[in-house]
Amino acid sequence: MASIDAKPGALPVQDEPASDGARPRWRDVLRRVWRSYTFRVTLNGIITLWAVTTFTFFLIRLMPSNPVDIYVDRVMQQQNIPYEMAVNMAAGLFDYNPDAPIVEQYFDYMFDLLRGDMGQSITSSGTPVLDQLMRFLPWTLFSIGIALLTSFTFGILLGVAMAYWRGSIFDNVMTGLASVLSGVPDYVYALLILTVGGLQLELFEIGSMRGAYDQGLTPGFTPRFIISMIQHAMLPVLTYVLATIGVWMLSMKSSTLSTLGEDYITVAKARGLSERRILTAYVGRNAMLPLVTRLAISIGFVVSGSVIVERMFQYPGLGNALITAVERRDYTTMQGIFIVTSMAVVISNILADLMMGWLDPRVQLGEESTE
């Protein structure tokens, strides 16, 4: 609106716009936060984790029977006592009411979970679930972590060699071997190791390889304990390596072949650079980028371990603990293991998405399009 005091012949003077401070700046802040690629990825991970937690909570309670019924049946068979006496024993032992409304159980569990309390084991009265997880988790991280790093390292090296000498006898043999290795489940390798290596060839004594270390040893950073720990982890590690190395070999070969066709490789050859220089500085590094994000995702699955493999070798990891909890219908322990494994997978996916956005800014185009 023009000022009424303007002089004749002068240009009208517009009123000054309202100060920016008059606008609610919190809306701008919220808009910028929402457009943030990091925020959207993190929010998606949190929603996924809540959905998985809710789904598993109701799913495991739909299983037939419950921990009280299983305990009562086992006590009646072993001790030959009446049903009422077994029920009274279960009531004094378990801090769990199977007749409580499931919705009430859900909200109680979620409120406790927000406070960082996963509850206590139903079948091991007085034992916090978190303590159980901390007892089994290190063994899973140790065995499968070593296997993942081993299979990734050798798979990358062999994949580059297969692509660089493509069409050769080495490439044909290794490609066929990788295809076979990647097509066999891990529990089949475990079964072959136990039956062929342990029973037929007698390369090791199956009974002595059970557990995480020799009985009678005190855990600690002593040479004897470390050697025993490595020996007991060798069979699960070998199983995981055989089951995963083929995938890394084929993925790295495909990525390397794609990189070899890039223009900068042709320019590097025209400049007269050595084959070794081109392979290490140009081909290998660029071909590894897609696999780095895949490695980040695989790290999340390290925590979940392999349920069947750990059970077959009687290795005290999360997988073996999960089967025991399922057999006993230990709901709180089952839920705790599912939460830890889900968190590991979700966090690894978030890190992979953030890493992809950092390595390739085009991934964040969705953020720019909303501005």
Identify whether 24 is part of a domain.
no
**Residues 101, 154 within the same domain:** no
**Residues 294, 152 within the same domain:** yes
**Residues 162, 110 within the same domain:** no
Would you state the pLDDT for residue 96?
A: 64
**Residues 99, 193 within the same domain:** no
Residue, of 363 and 128, whose pLDDT is higher: 128
Alpha helices (H) in the chain, listed in sequence order: 25-35, 37-60, 67-79, 83-93, 102-114, 129-164, 169-182, 186-192, 223-260, 263-270, 275-277, 285-304, 307-312, 318-328, 331-359, 365-369
Identify whether 18 is part of a domain.
no
**Residues 134, 107 within the same domain:** no
- Segment 197-225, tens digit of pLDDT: 888 888 888 888 888 888 888 888 888 88
**Residues 296, 178 within the same domain:** yes
Domains in the chain: how many in total? Answer: 2
Token look-up 């190791």 returns 193
**Residues 54, 136 within the same domain:** no
- Structural domain including 207 reads 129-361
> What is the percent of the chain with per-residue pLDDT over 90, rounded to a whole number?
12
**Residues 216, 289 within the same domain:** yes
Residue 369 CB contacts under 8 Å (≥ 6 apart), including other chains:
none
Q: What's the rounded Cα separation, in Å, for the pair 214 and 216? A: 6
Identify whether 53 is part of a domain.
yes
Q: What's the whole-number mean pLDDT along residues 222-236?
A: 90
Identify whether 121 is part of a domain.
no
pLDDT at 228 over 50: yes
pLDDT at 129 over 80: yes
**Residues 89, 175 within the same domain:** no
Identify whether 65 is part of a domain.
yes
Residue 83 CB contacts under 8 Å (≥ 6 apart), including other chains:
72, 76
Phi, psi of 228 (to 5 degrees): -65, -40
- Segment 2-19, tens digit of pLDDT: 444 445 555 455 554 544
> Which of the residue ranges 149-153, 203-207, 297-301 would you say has the lowest mean pLDDT?
297-301
Identify whether 161 is part of a domain.
yes
Identify whether 63 is part of a domain.
yes
Would you state the pLDDT for residue 23?
A: 52
Of 88, 114, 140, the last residue of a domain is: 114
**Residues 342, 220 within the same domain:** yes
**What angle, rounded to 10 degrees, do the helices at 331-359 and 318-328 form?**
140
Averaging pLDDT over each range in 6-15, 25-34, 151-160, which range is the top one? 151-160
Q: What's the rounded Cα separation, in Å, for the pair 48 and 43? A: 9
Average pLDDT, the chain: 79
Q: Quickly list DSSP for 339-358.
A: HHHHHHHHHHHHHHHHHHHH
**Residues 174, 311 within the same domain:** yes
CATH number, domain of 149, equals 1.10.3720.10
Q: What's the whole-number mean pLDDT along residues 125-136?
A: 84
Query: What DSSP designation does 305 have?
Result: -
Of 81, 114, 147, the last residue of a domain is: 114
Of 49, 80, 114, the last residue of a domain is: 114
Averaging pLDDT over each range in 82-91, 166-175, 318-327, which range is the top one? 166-175
Residue 328: what residue type?
A: R
Dihedral sign computed on CA atoms, order 227, 241, 312, 190: negative
Identify whether 318 is part of a domain.
yes
**Residues 156, 265 within the same domain:** yes
Token digits of residue 100: 């409580």
